């Protein structure tokens, strides 16, 4: 399964909904959604700053992760950004590959 870092920010309407439903209920809803799609929530935190929510989710594939992003964004209540997380071993493998790139002008 692929891991994704979730950065989410509520709009004013989303914030009103969060206040009405509560943080625990929203977390449970997200966990249920992930389970239903064959994934899981590894970590889920509310925070201050640029993002209102930071989470790490495991999803079976990029299509499922994209469906989550599109579905949540389409509501207009939350702006969400998913960042794929890469295992250190995958970086080791990538570092050993020859890509044949030449910088412009060289």
User: What pLDDT, in 10s, does the model give residues 11-48?
Assistant: 999 999 999 999 999 999 999 999 999 999 999 999 99
Cβ contact 93:84 at 8 Å: no
Going by the DSSP 8-state scheme, the letter that residue 104 receives in this structure is T
Please give the Cα distance from 87 to 84 (Å, whole number). Answer: 10
- What does pTM read for this prediction? 0.87
Q: Is 69 exposed, middle or buried (0-12, 13-18, 19+ CB in 10 A)?
A: middle
Q: What is the set of domains in the chain, with CATH numbers? A: 2-95 (3.30.70.920)
pLDDT of residue 106: 84
pLDDT of residue 6: 98
């Amino acid at each position: 399964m692929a891991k994704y870092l979730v950065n989410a920010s509520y709009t004013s309407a989303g914030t009103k909904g969060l206040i009405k439903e509560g943080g625990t209920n929203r977390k449970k809803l997200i966990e249920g959604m992930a389970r239903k799609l064959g994934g899981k929530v590894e970590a889920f935190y509310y925070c201050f700053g640029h993002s209102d929510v930071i989470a790490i989710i495991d999803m079976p594939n990029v299509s499922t992760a994209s469906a989550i992003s599109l579905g949540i964004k389409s509501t207009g209540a939350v702006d969400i950004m998913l960042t794929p997380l890469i295992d250190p071993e995958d970086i080791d493998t990538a570092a050993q590959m020859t890509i044949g790139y030449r910088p412009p002008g060289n």
